[in-house]
């Protein structure tokens, strides 16, 4: 079904979307223009999406948001690491 | 139902998550640490989510992703505006 294929492509693109941001932070060792509020707000939202996925027993929602949460966790770690070094 | 409430909170938090990033970019007039690949990859993914929402006739998916797409559009505009000024 075409909509499933589009949904899967959408999920794949969005769940890995912070990998380039992590790569950039690691390369430049600078994260000062990245908003920490955005990172924390997104992380909280993504946590709620995971709970929603668990309650609805939806493995696609769970998987996509766990991947996003891990990348956001790495970014928050880098934010504090590089933020403190300056 | 509790899962609907959690889903709505999740959607609200994530769809407005780039507003603080826009505010920061406007304040600092600097976006050099923001990954353009992340912005474009997310925008493409969010476009596919909108198509998915339209095909599935799901107004929540459509609304959440249209709001995200608008904020990403503003961020991409600021990325090029401030990127060129440097």
Q: Identify the pLDDT of residue B1.
A: 83
Q: Give how many domains chain B has, as a whole number.
A: 1
Across B33-37, average pLDDT: 95
**Percent of chain B whose predicted confidence (pLDDT) is above 90:** 84
Q: Which two tokens stand for residue B52?
A: 């998915």
Q: Does the beta-carbon distance from B33 to A35 stay under 8 Å?
A: no
Q: Does the beta-carbon distance from B9 to A33 stay under 8 Å?
A: no
Domain that holds residue B31: 2-85
The CATH number of the domain holding residue B15 is 1.20.1280.290
Structure ipTM: 0.89
Instruction: Return the beta strands (E) in A1-86 as ranges.
Output: none
Q: Which two tokens stand for residue B8?
A: 């709505």
Q: Measuring CA to CA, how many Å separate B59 from each of B6, B12, B76?
A: 17, 14, 25
A contact set with B (CB within 8 A):
2-3, 6-7, 9-14, 16-21, 23-25, 28, 30-35, 37-38, 41-42, 44-46, 48-49, 51-52, 55-56
Q: Does the beta-carbon distance from A38 to B28 stay under 8 Å?
A: no
pLDDT in tens, A5-58: 999 999 999 999 999 999 999 999 999 999 999 999 999 999 999 999 999 898
B contact set with A (CB within 8 A):
2-3, 6-7, 9-14, 16-21, 23-25, 28, 30-35, 37-38, 41-42, 44-46, 48-49, 51-52, 55-56
């Amino acid at each position: 079904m075409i909509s499933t294929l589009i949904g899967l492509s959408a999920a794949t693109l969005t769940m890995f979307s912070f990998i380039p941001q992590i790569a950039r932070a690691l390369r430049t060792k600078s994260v000062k223009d990245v908003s920490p509020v955005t990172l924390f707000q997104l992380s909280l939202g993504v946590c709620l999406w995971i709970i929603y996925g668990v309650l609805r027993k939806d493995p696609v929602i769970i998987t996509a948001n766990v991947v996003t949460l891990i990348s956001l966790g790495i970014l928050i770690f880098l934010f504090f690491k590089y933020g403190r070094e300056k």
